[in-house]
Every structure is written in C-alpha cells, then in structure tokens.
C-alpha cells in the first residue's frame, strides 16, 4: 500500500486521461460497425493495467538483471522471424508462439531502451569504445527489422536509440558530423528500399500522384481532420469516418476520428495531455535515484514521443505512412500491453526515487 | 574520467533539451492542425459534408497480341459487367436477394459474393458478374434504379480466337487474387498467368487512370472533377503465323506432340505448337475446379508446353551432331565406310541396328540416308562420350535456348564421367548415345534450332517470338564448309533418294526439303532382345522429323515431334510436309 501511495500522481492522471480518451474515440470509430473491437480493447486495458500495477512492485535491480536476457531473447525472436514468421500484408513480422502471436520488433524497442540505459548507466557515450557496443546493439536489430521488411519500425528504433545516446552524453561535434553524412546514408537507404516503400514516400511528398493507393489514406484523413474545424462535429457525429471513408480508422488512423469529432479544441487538449505526459516521464528521469533508472525513463519517453509525433504526423500528412500506433488510443492489444509495461517501469522509478536524493555519482544499476 | 558534477550537469541539460524538443514537435503538429482545421476548414468541410470526393479507377484496355499477319491471337471483346459499390447500397441482403431473383443466381453464388464484398473496400466497385449475356443486359439495366449501388458497366474481356492451338505460347489471364492486390493490382483486374500473357504482363497491362467525382451523401454523382485517362497497354505483334500453326495442328490431328517452325536467318518462330492444347478462354469466364483438375490429371498433360518444357530422347535426329564430331575429329570412319550386319557385337552381347538384316557396306552419307545405327555405334565408339557430348552442346543442346517463354527445359547431355563412383561410361552407353538414346534428351525447340543452324551454316540463334525483334546470335560455330555440305547432302537424300527414310512423305513436297527422321525408343530393350512392339501406347516409340527447306536456299527450319507416334518417317514427316507445303504455297503466291 505504501508503494501505491508513493506513485506519481501526475503520471497516473495522464494515463487515466489517455485511457478515457482512447476508449471513447475507439467507440466512435467502431460504433456503427464492429463493437467487438471495443470490448476487446477493454479487455486489453484490464490486462495491461494489471501488468502496469504488477511492474510497480518489481524492484529496479531485478529489472537490471533481466536487461541482457530480455534483449537477447528479442534479438533471437527477430532472427527467427524470417524463418518461422507469419506472412501478413506481404511482410514477415509476427512470430506464432502457439497460443498467441508476438511481434518481436515491438518487444525489441523496449528491450533496446533498457539495454542502452543499462549500458550507459556506468559509462558516458563520449568514447568510441563505449559507443561501439551501443551502436552495434541498435543497428543489428534495426537491420533485421528492415529486411522483414518494416522500414518504419526500424527508423523508430534508430531514432529512439539515437535520442538515448544523445542524453547519455554523446558529444555534439560528433552529432554534427553525423548530420553532415546523413544525406549519403539517405541515398543508400533509398537505393535499398522496396518499391512499395518508395511509393509511400513519393506519395507522401505528393499525395495527388497516387490518389488510389498510398495517397488515398492521407487525402482522406486530412479531409476528415480539416472538416472538424475549431469546435468539431460533435461526439459520434463525424461523417467521414462514419461513412467508412477512412482507412484503418480504428488502428493507426484513429487520430482522424478524434480530430474530426473534437475539432481544434480537442486536438490542442490532447497535445497538452501528451506533452504533460512525456514531460512528466522526463521529470521523473531528472529525479531518479540512479543513472540507470533515469535513463530507462528517457528511453521510454523517447519512444512515446516518437509514437505521438510520427502517428499524428502521418495522419495529418506531414510524414510518410508508417505503421505506428497513437499511444493508448489506437486499437491493438500487444502495443497497448507493451506500453503499459513500459509505463509500469517508469512508475517504479518514481516510487523508488520518492524521498531519495537523485543520483550524484555513477553507480552500478544493481546498487 | 568520471567527472561527477560535469556528467550530472550534462545529463540534466540534455533532458531539459529533450523537453524542449518534445514541445517543439507538438508545436509543429499544432501548426499543421491549425492549417487543416482552421485555415483550410471551409475546403475540407465542403469536401466531407455535402459533397464528397470519390476517386475511382479507370481500367486501361489491355494490349492485344497479333500474329505476324495481324490476325488476333489474344484480343479484347466488348462485354458488360455487373458491379456493386458497397457503401452506396442501402441494404446489401435485400439487394442481393432481388438480384438473385432477377438473374437466377444460385445460393452458392450469393454467399460467395457476400464474402467477396466484405473483403472489398467500401468505396470500390466489386465485381458481381463478368461477361453478362446480351439478353440479360437490358432487363437489368432497365431496373437499375431499384438497386442503388449496382451498376452495369461496359468493358472488355479477353478472348483467344485460337485458344486450343495457341494456348502454350499466348497463355492466359485470370482474375486478380489477394496476393496480386497486395502488389498493387485492383479488384476486377485480370493478370497474366502463363505464356506471353504472363511474360509480357508489364507491357500489355497499360496504366490505370482515375477519375475524381464529386458525389453527394447518397453516393449520386454530382460532378466530374478531374479525369486522368488510362494508358492502353502495348499491342504486341508476334512472329507466330496463326494460319500455319493451324495447319500444323490439323496435320498432327488428335496425336500428342509438338511442332516448331523457325526462320533460319532471323530466329523468328513461325509455329510453336504443343498438343493437346487447352481452352484458355475458360480462365476468363472463371474456371471450375473440375475442369482444372481434369487438365492437371489428364495423362496427356495438356498444360505442358512440349516445345520448351519437355525433353525427349532425340533418336536418330542427333546423328548429324555425331557426324560433325566424327568429321571434326578426323575419325577414319567418318571418311571411310563399314559393314553393317544388323548388329555390333560387344563382349557377349549384340547391339542391334534398326534393320535386322543389315545395311551392307555403308559410308557416312548412306548412314544418314538410311539411318544406319551400326555405322554410328562404331563412330560413337571411336569418338567417346566426351566428344559426343561436347559436340551436342556446341549445337545448342543441353542448354536453354533463351526463348522468352520461361520456364524452359535444358534437356540432358551425358557428362564426361557418369558419376563419382563409376570412372567412365561403358562402351555400350557411348554407342547408344551416338544414335540419340540413353542419357540424352532434347526439347523440340532445341531440335528446330539445330536444324536452323545446319541450314544457315552454323549460327545458333535465340528463338524470337516477336515479329521484327533484332536477331540474336547466341554463337557462331566454326564448321568447315566441306563438312557442312556433306551433312546437308545426306539430309537432302533422306528425302530425295528413293531409299531415304522420308522419301515417301516428302519427296514431292512443294519445296525441296532436307531433313532427318528419328524414332526414339521409349523402353530400352535389353541389348540382344528382339525388337517387339508392345500394344500399350506408352511403350510406342517417339517419332521425330527435323529439317529445313528449301534445300538450295534455306528459309525455314522445323522440328516435328509425335509422342509415342511410332516411326519418324511415317508419323512425323507427313506433318512437316503439310507445314512446308502451306508455307511454300504462300511464299510462291506472294512472289
């Protein structure tokens, strides 16, 4: 009970707010069609919150012990995907574990964040030797994800890893150098992209060029968002989404439903909520009692930040279409579960750091 | 190293910076929202509320395939389709039930359609029925106002006028499957599945167009905003001569086999016939599993392209290659003669000539004309397996011809050594290889190309299927003119000499023909067993005839193969006669 009382109130408030918005929006998206989706998401929330509260009771030093095993398991699962994976939508991403499917790339995101936090808890990202392991551990899974092929997830992974490394003390001048060579890297990437990925990028740059294919999503979702106006059409009143104009409106494109019905006022409110949520995780990182605990929060914050930005960016047509969920709002069991587990870790950091001085000296994560 | 305060300071700073980045990104998104929801609100609102934009594809017309004279091999015929756009239908079950009564569809079709409609995107047309019979168009069109969302659309469907005869070269289309849709095809499109329809898919398909329509909330069209016309697929003119192909098919009759005719100079293929064929039009109307399984399990394998995908023992038609090898290596026998007693003795066994009583004294010319086996047993024995095999490879056997109609069989050539365990071939094996039996198989296409190469003086050509395609010389063989003349004369006398094996079939052909018969054993007899014919068709020999015409100034080369057809001279040669005559008459008529 003492543990629960020491939970971070602001973070909990944000989570409950997002849960409410998520379930309400999902209902709006599916209420004329398949309500079973909504009930299922309710079950996922129940399972996820159970995991969240369980994580609140697991000491961080135990988590520290699990970092390498979890990472290696995720890596092995990723490596097995091309051999055993299920083909869905032309790509092998899922692994069938009998009773349920897992998406190893989803697990890998969180595993890598933990690993980097662990690695840099005793080191700074300022020497090549310290960096090499971190870079290798990031690039290897990213390469495995690229060949699935799932370029979007690989990029999210790399961006999250990069922000981690930056916070861990990566020298600015090296960062500048990397920015300078990035055009070359982008060129190589383009050369190696699948045709459907190129089409997506091109149709993002000019949605009109392919109005039947990839551009369709963006055109339709932009219309839906824009038609919401400042005050929105009202809850359950969105015409675009109701008439099934929106593709995948309950998963990746759910933001369009929200923005159409809620208008600019609601989107601003949602942005503030997400901003508070992520900032709060970072504040917990500042107050953390160990460098490991802090970096764990930073890694998780960077993934949430990327999810929010990439998802809303793509739905509103300023980023290419990449399969990334809107945290706590998009439908989907495994994404929700992993996000709640991650948030449980953050909450544990908050609980353990409550009343302690934040770290002053580099310490072993196990101390 | 660990400057504690410094590290802590850096950590703090970077997290503050992170927070700034988070809010800048949100600000960026906010800017976009302001643009969409505030500044462009009017535009988006009109588009969403009163009138919506409906983008629908306009399908391109698929390119047609013509024969070398402009006759259609794969054409488009006007037809009507019944389509349904799910989101415009008020009550799907009622609509389908009404259609069922009107059209007389069975329950099975209705449940299949329901499944299909569920998979279709709500704003895209789903195909209810293709090739609507003409009598049904008017009654349905008159009642369309009862069925919102249902439409009768004029379009085209593929039609193959000579389906049975051209099935293996032209191929067929069928309706898209889920995998194709993932690759970018749309519902209701047809995709090339086999033959040139598949190989030339990207050229024949054309480019989709689309139209932006403004529709009201009930899905009625208010205005046409913009159209981008589809780009029609490319029309392709093949080198095939449909009339000649038909004549070859008629000459082959109900027998199983293959006929190839090639232009000896350009490599253009005039006839590419594999029998039996199959009715490719059935793929367009929707093939039922019963028919498909019948084709798959039919003992005559109608789906197999015997010209390119099947390899058979060449029998005596390989003897020219054996002869070239003998001449090139300067084997004494090639320029001398031997005595044929009807068999050769090898250890305690006898390997027989097809003529039991023997041919008497034979030289290379006689051996070709009378197809004497004993002469070639001895020649092969003198040459060895390595020389036989490499000569055959030189003439294009054992490798793909490169015709643009994959998959293609290479056929089999014996290797230098039979296997790891056995150091060398037995003499008997080498000897029967010299007459085209044993471990050697060739495709009818390779055989026609061989005949063309003899006719044109050693050019191995890539067989071409499009008219006017630039000639592609795979390799130019260095064959002494003197050797070539010797073989050519032998091939001529197969037809011209009264004792030649194809005299009866071809001596009176409208062009002077040079060629070679082949009778390939299917079941190998024990070396000294009497040659007996089993009644079972599958034990009958394969019949070959290959050659070229006219002898003096060759224009076409051909290979005729009749599966289990019996003797080359009596079974395959008459087919060649029909083809040569038809082509000769046509050329004479032109000049």
Dist CA B17 CA A318 (whole Å):
23
Q: CB distance from A162 to chain B under 8 Å? A: no
For the cut 50, the answer to whether the pLDDT of residue B533 exceeds it is: no
Distance spanning both ends of chain B, measured CA to CA: 97
Q: A318 to chain B: which residues are within 8 Å by CB?
A: 28-29, 32
Residue-wise burial string across B449-482, b where 16 or more C-beta atoms lie within 10 A, e elsewhere: bbbbbbbbebbbbbbbbbbebeeeebeeeebeee
**Residue from B24, B33, B177, B207 whose CB has the most chain A CBs within 10 Å, to mutate:** B33
Residue B449 corresponds to which tokens in the numbers above?
Answer: 């190309």
pLDDT band of residue A33 (cuts 50, 70, 90) is low
With 0.90 as the threshold, say if the pTM is over it. Answer: no
Contact between A223 and B44 using a beta-carbon 8 Å cutoff: yes
Bond prior to B5 in cis (omega within 30° of 0): no
Q: CB distance from A9 to chain B under 8 Å? A: no
Q: Contact at 8 Å (CB) between B369 and B497?
A: yes
Query: Looking at residue A283, what is its pLDDT?
Result: 94
**Segment B173-193, tens digit of pLDDT:** 988 887 888 777 887 889 999
Query: Looking at residue A86, what is its pLDDT?
Result: 58
Cα separation values, B587 from A21, A79, B97, Å: 82, 65, 61
Q: What is the mean pLDDT of residues B281-287?
A: 84
Q: B178 to chain A: which residues are within 8 Å by CB?
A: none
Distance spanning both ends of chain A, measured CA to CA: 24
Q: How far is A88 from chain B (nearest CA, A)?
A: 10
Q: CB distance from A313 to chain B under 8 Å? A: yes
Q: CB distance from A231 to chain B under 8 Å? A: no
Q: A263 to chain B: which residues are within 8 Å by CB?
A: 37
Half-sphere exposure of B391 (CA within 13 A, CB side): 23
Q: How far is B153 from chain A (nearest CA, A)?
A: 20
Alpha carbon A234 to chain centroid distance? 29
**Segment B290-309, tens digit of pLDDT:** 888 999 898 889 999 999 99
Query: Looking at residue A241, what is its pLDDT?
Result: 54
Q: B189 to chain A: which residues are within 8 Å by CB?
A: none
Contact between B37 and A229 using a beta-carbon 8 Å cutoff: yes
Please state which of the ranges A205-209, B235-239, B273-277, B434-438 shows the lowest mean pLDDT.
A205-209
Contact between A360 and B43 using a beta-carbon 8 Å cutoff: no
Q: A212 to chain B: which residues are within 8 Å by CB?
A: 55, 57, 186, 208, 210
Q: A278 to chain B: which residues are within 8 Å by CB?
A: 22
Q: How far is B32 from chain A (nearest CA, A)?
A: 7
Residue A167 corresponds to which tokens in the numbers above?
Answer: 């916070």
Contact between B48 and A227 using a beta-carbon 8 Å cutoff: yes
Contact between A163 and B30 using a beta-carbon 8 Å cutoff: no
- Listed by start position, the domains of chain A span 2-353
Query: Looking at residue B370, what is its pLDDT?
Result: 93
Q: How far is B200 from chain A (nearest CA, A)?
A: 20
Of B26, B52, B87, the CB nearest to A275: B26
3-state secondary structure of A331: coil
pLDDT band of residue B351 (cuts 50, 70, 90) is confident
Dist CA A234 CA A220 (whole Å):
19
Cα separation values, B488 from B365, B384, B578, Å: 10, 24, 22
Give the residue among A303, A245, A338 at the shortest CA–CA distance from A113. A303
Nearest CA in chain B to A241: B48
Q: What is the mean pLDDT of residues B48-59?
A: 71
Dist CA A176 CA A345 (whole Å):
33
3-state secondary structure of B214: strand
Query: Looking at residue B420, what is its pLDDT?
Result: 73
Nearest CA in chain A to B58: A212
The answer to whether domain B242-280+303-590 has CATH 3.40.710.10 is: yes
Dist CA B117 CA B95 (whole Å):
13
Q: CB distance from A158 to chain B under 8 Å? A: no
Contact between B11 and A167 using a beta-carbon 8 Å cutoff: yes
Q: B29 to chain A: which residues are within 8 Å by CB?
A: 271, 309, 312-313, 316, 318
Query: Looking at residue A366, what is its pLDDT?
Result: 43
**Residue spans in chain B of domains classed CATH 3.40.710.10:** 242-280+303-590
pLDDT band of residue A246 (cuts 50, 70, 90) is low
- Return all residues near B21 (Cβ < 8 A) that are at least 6 apart: A305
**Residue from A195, A216, A223, A324 whose CB has the most chain B CBs within 10 Å, to mutate:** A223
For the cut 80, the answer to whether the pLDDT of residue A88 exceeds it is: no
Q: CB distance from A75 to chain B under 8 Å? A: no
Query: Looking at residue A240, what is its pLDDT?
Result: 56
Q: CB distance from A148 to chain B under 8 Å? A: no
Report CA dihedral (A161, A167, A171, A174) to the nearest 10 degrees: 30
pLDDT band of residue B26 (cuts 50, 70, 90) is very high
For the cut 70, the answer to whether the pLDDT of residue A108 exceeds it is: yes
Segment (H or E) for A29: helix A9-30
Of B29, B41, B53, the CB nearest to A271: B29
User: Is beta strand A86-88 parallel, antiparallel or unpaired with respect to A91-97?
Assistant: antiparallel
**Segment A311-365, tens digit of pLDDT:** 999 888 888 777 788 999 999 888 899 999 999 999 999 999 887 777 764 444 4
Q: Contact at 8 Å (CB) between B231 and B553?
A: no
Q: CB distance from A157 to chain B under 8 Å? A: no
**Residue from B26, B51, B121 whose CB has the most chain A CBs within 10 Å, to mutate:** B26
Q: Give the DSSP letter string of B363-430.
A: EHHHHHHHT-HHHHHHHHHHH-HHHHHHHHHHTTTTS----SS-S----B---SSS-SS-SS--HHHH
Nearest CA in chain A to B34: A264
**Residue from B29, B125, B211, B225 whose CB has the most chain A CBs within 10 Å, to mutate:** B29
Dist CA A53 CA A340 (whole Å):
9
Q: Is B376 exposed, middle or buried (0-12, 13-18, 19+ CB in 10 A)?
A: buried
Residue for token pair 């090139």: B328
Note if B571 is an active site residue.
no
**Residue spans in chain B of domains classed CATH 3.90.1310.10:** 55-237
Q: Which residues pair with residue B343 across a beta bridge? A: B352
Contact between B25 and A294 using a beta-carbon 8 Å cutoff: no
**Per mean pLDDT, which of A94-103, B177-186, B579-588 is the most reliable?**
B579-588
For the cut 90, the answer to whether the pLDDT of residue B278 exceeds it is: yes
Crossing angle for the helix pair A151-167 and A128-146, nearest 10 degrees? Answer: 170
Between chain A and chain B, how many beta carbons pairs sit less than 8 Å apart? 141
Residue B113 corresponds to which tokens in the numbers above?
Answer: 């359609």
Q: What is the mean pLDDT of residues B127-145?
A: 83
Of B7, B37, B55, the CB nearest to A230: B37
**Segment B362-378, tens digit of pLDDT:** 999 999 999 999 999 99
Q: CB distance from A282 to chain B under 8 Å? A: yes
Contact between A227 and B208 using a beta-carbon 8 Å cutoff: no
Contact between A244 and B123 using a beta-carbon 8 Å cutoff: yes
Bond prior to B407 in cis (omega within 30° of 0): yes
**Segment A1-31, tens digit of pLDDT:** 678 888 999 999 999 999 999 999 999 888 7
**Segment A38-79, tens digit of pLDDT:** 999 999 999 999 999 999 999 999 999 999 999 999 999 888
Positive or negative torsion for Cα A21, A23, A28, A30: positive
Assigned CATH for B55-237: 3.90.1310.10
Q: Which residues pair with residue B460 across a beta bridge? A: B475
Q: How far is A358 from chain B (nearest CA, A)?
A: 10
User: Is beta strand B360-363 parallel, antiparallel or unpaired with respect to B150-159?
Assistant: unpaired
Catalytic residue among B249, B274, B316, B571: B316
């Amino acid at each position: 009970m003492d543990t629960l009382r020491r939970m971070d109130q602001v973070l909990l408030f944000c989570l409950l707010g997002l849960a409410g918005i998520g379930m309400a929006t999902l209902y709006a998206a599916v209420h004329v069609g398949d309500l079973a989706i909504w009930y299922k998401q309710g079950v996922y929330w129940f399972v996820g919150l159970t995991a969240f509260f369980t994580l609140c009771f697991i000491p961080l030093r135990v988590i520290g012990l699990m970092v390498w095993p979890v990472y290696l398991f995720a890596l092995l699962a990723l490596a097995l995907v091309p051999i055993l994976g299920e083909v869905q939508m032309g790509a092998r991403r899922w692994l069938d574990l009998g009773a349920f499917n897992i998406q190893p790339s989803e697990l890998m995101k969180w595993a890598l964040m933990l690993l980097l936090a662990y690695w840099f808890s005793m080191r700074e990202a300022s020497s090549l030797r310290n960096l090499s392991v971190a870079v290798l551990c990031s690039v290897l899974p990213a390469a495995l994800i690229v060949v699935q092929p799932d370029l979007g997830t690989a990029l999210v992974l790399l961006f999250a890893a990069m922000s981690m490394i930056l916070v861990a003390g990566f020298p600015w001048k090296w960062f500048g150098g990397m920015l300078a060579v990035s055009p070359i890297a982008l060129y190589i990437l383009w050369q190696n992209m699948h045709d459907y990925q190129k089409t997506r990028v091109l149709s993002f740059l000019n949605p009109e060029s392919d109005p039947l294919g990839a551009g369709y999503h963006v055109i339709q979702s932009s219309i839906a968002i824009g038609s919401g106006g400042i005050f929105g059409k009202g809850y359950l009143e969105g015409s675009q989404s109701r008439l099934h104009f929106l593709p995948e409106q309950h998963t990746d494109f759910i933001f369009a439903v929200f923005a159409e019905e809620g208008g600019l006022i609601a989107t601003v409110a949602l942005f503030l909520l997400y901003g508070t949520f992520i900032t709060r995780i970072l504040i917990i990182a500042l107050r953390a009692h160990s460098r490991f605990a802090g970096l764990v929060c930073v890694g998780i914050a960077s993934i949430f930040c990327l999810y929010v930005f990439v998802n809303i960016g793509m739905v509103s047509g300023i980023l290419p279409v990449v399969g990334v969920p809107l945290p706590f709002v998009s439908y989907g069991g495994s994404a929700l579960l992993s996000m709640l587990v991650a948030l449980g870790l953050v909450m544990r950091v908050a609980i353990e750091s409550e009343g302690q001085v934040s770290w002053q000296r580099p310490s072993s994560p196990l101390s | 190293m660990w400057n504690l305060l410094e590290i802590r300071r850096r950590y703090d700073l970077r997290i503050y910076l992170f927070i700034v980045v988070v809010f800048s990104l949100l600000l960026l998104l906010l800017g976009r929202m302001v643009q969409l929801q505030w500044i462009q609100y009017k535009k988006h609102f009109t588009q969403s509320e009163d009138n919506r934009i409906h983008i629908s594809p306009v399908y391109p017309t698929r390119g047609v395939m013509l024969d070398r004279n402009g006759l259609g091999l794969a054409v488009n015929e006007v037809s009507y389709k019944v389509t349904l756009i799910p989101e415009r239908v008020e009550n799907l079950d009622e609509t389908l039930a009404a259609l069922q009564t009107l059209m007389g569809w069975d329950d099975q079709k209705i449940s299949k359609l329901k499944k299909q409609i569920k998979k279709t995107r709500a704003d895209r047309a789903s195909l209810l029925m293709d090739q609507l019979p003409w009598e049904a168009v008017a009654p349905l069109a008159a009642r369309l106002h009862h069925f919102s969302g249902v439409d009768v659309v004029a379009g085209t469907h593929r039609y193959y006028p000579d389906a049975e005869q051209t099935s293996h070269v032209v191929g067929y289309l069928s309706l898209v499957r889920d995998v194709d849709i993932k690759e970018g095809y749309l519902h209701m499109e047809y995709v090339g599945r086999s033959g040139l329809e598949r190989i030339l898919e990207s050229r024949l398909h054309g480019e989709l167009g689309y139209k932006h329509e403004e529709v009201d909330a009930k899905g009625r069209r208010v205005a046409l905003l913009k159209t981008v016309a589809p780009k029609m697929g490319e029309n392709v003119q093949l080198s095939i001569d449909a009339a000649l192909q038909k004549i070859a098919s008629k000459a082959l009759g109900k027998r199983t086999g293959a006929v190839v005719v090639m232009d000896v100079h350009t490599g253009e293929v005039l006839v590419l016939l594999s029998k039996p064929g199959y009715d490719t039009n059935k793929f367009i109307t929707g093939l039922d599993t019963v028919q498909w399984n019948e084709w798959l399990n039919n003992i005559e394998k109608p789906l197999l392209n015997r010209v390119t995908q099947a390899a058979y023992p060449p029998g005596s038609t390989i003897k020219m290659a054996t002869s070239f090898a003998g001449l090139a290596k300067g084997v004494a026998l090639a320029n001398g003669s031997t005595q044929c007693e009807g068999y050769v003795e090898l250890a305690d066994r006898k390997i027989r000539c097809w003529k039991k009583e023997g041919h008497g004294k034979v030289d290379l010319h006689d051996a070709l004309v009378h197809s004497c086996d004993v002469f070639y047993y001895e020649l092969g024995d003198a040459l060895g397996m390595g020389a036989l095999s490499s000569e055959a490879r030189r003439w294009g056997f054992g490798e793909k011809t490169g015709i643009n109609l994959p998959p293609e069989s290479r056929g089999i050539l014996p290797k230098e050594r039979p296997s790891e365990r056995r150091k060398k071939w037995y003499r008997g094996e080498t000897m029967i290889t010299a007459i085209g039996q044993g471990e050697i198989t060739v495709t009818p296409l390779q055989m026609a190309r061989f005949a063309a190469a003899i006719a044109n003086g050693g050019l191995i050509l890539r067989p071409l299927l499009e008219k006017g395609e630039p000639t592609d010389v795979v390799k130019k063989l260095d064959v002494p003119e003197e050797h070539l003349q010797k073989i050519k004369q032998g091939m001529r006398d197969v037809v011209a000499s009264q004792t030649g094996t194809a005299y009866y079939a071809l001596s009176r052909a409208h062009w002077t023909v040079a060629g070679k018969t082949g009778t390939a054993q299917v079941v190998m007899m024990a070396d000294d067993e009497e040659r007996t014919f089993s009644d079972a068709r599958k034990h009958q020999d394969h019949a070959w005839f290959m050659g070229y015409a006219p002898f003096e100034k060759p224009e076409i080369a051909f290979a005729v193969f009749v599966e289990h057809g019996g003797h080359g001279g009596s079974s395959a040669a008459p087919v060649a006669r029909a083809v040569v005559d038809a082509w000769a008459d046509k050329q004479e008529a032109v000049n």
